[in-house]
Amino acid sequence: MMGLIDSVFGLFKDRREVLDLSSFNDPLALSIDWKPLVGGGSNFCTHRLRKTSSFTEDLACFKVTFVAFLFCIVFAIVGFVGFFVALLLSGDESGWFFLIFLAVGAGMLWWMKRKEISFCRLSAYYLRAGVRHDASSLHAIQLVREYVSGNKHSYYSYELNLIMSDGTRLNVTDHGSLRAIREDAHDLSAYLGIPVWDAIDYRLPGPAADPKAKKSE
């Protein structure tokens, strides 16, 4: 009986190879945190890397995707229209409920816009939320995944984090499109001239292991 139970649980066990941190040939990779930096993450692509050029600057920017923008706008429009329709038809305060949709849509769009980040390799800076930072400390790009468990469905979300020379991390984006996250990491790596440390296909060593795998072991 126990053998049958072990066999069933074995089907869900994370069988990926354990990440060898020494393969990055950098002592900093051995000392940084490899657990997901931010909790959750959307199941669709929220930001993509876009490059723009002018006479004075050559920028690489993570911008809100059209799908993410449309998702937020639909929420806001449903709330806005629903509020006024309910107000005209009923004449009471029942329409205030729809303002929740308006607030959620506007809030999500504001949050996504604040996560936009621009890099300028010529002037060695990056800009987020109107604040300019020195880019000379950017050391590497880290890719990790997180298992997000919901009430109705679960999925993997992928993080693109910047690694600073002192080992601190900065999350750039966190969403569910593996293809997009890897493409953007590759393009940003080429633009900034720093390596990509991709741990997505590997099981993290020790306490940083995949939570889904832990539940199944």
pLDDT of residue 17: 86
114: its two tokens: 């604040």
pLDDT tens across 151-195, in order? 778 889 999 999 999 999 999 999 999 999 999 999 999 999 999
Residue matched to tokens 């900034």: 192
Q: Tens digits of per-residue pLDDT, 116-154?
A: 999 999 889 999 988 999 999 999 999 999 988 877 788
* Residue 29: pLDDT over 80: yes
* Confidence band of 68 (pLDDT split at 50, 70, 90): very high
pTM above 0.85, yes or no: no
For 118-135, letters b (16+ CB in 10 Å) and e give bbbbeeeebbbeeeebeb
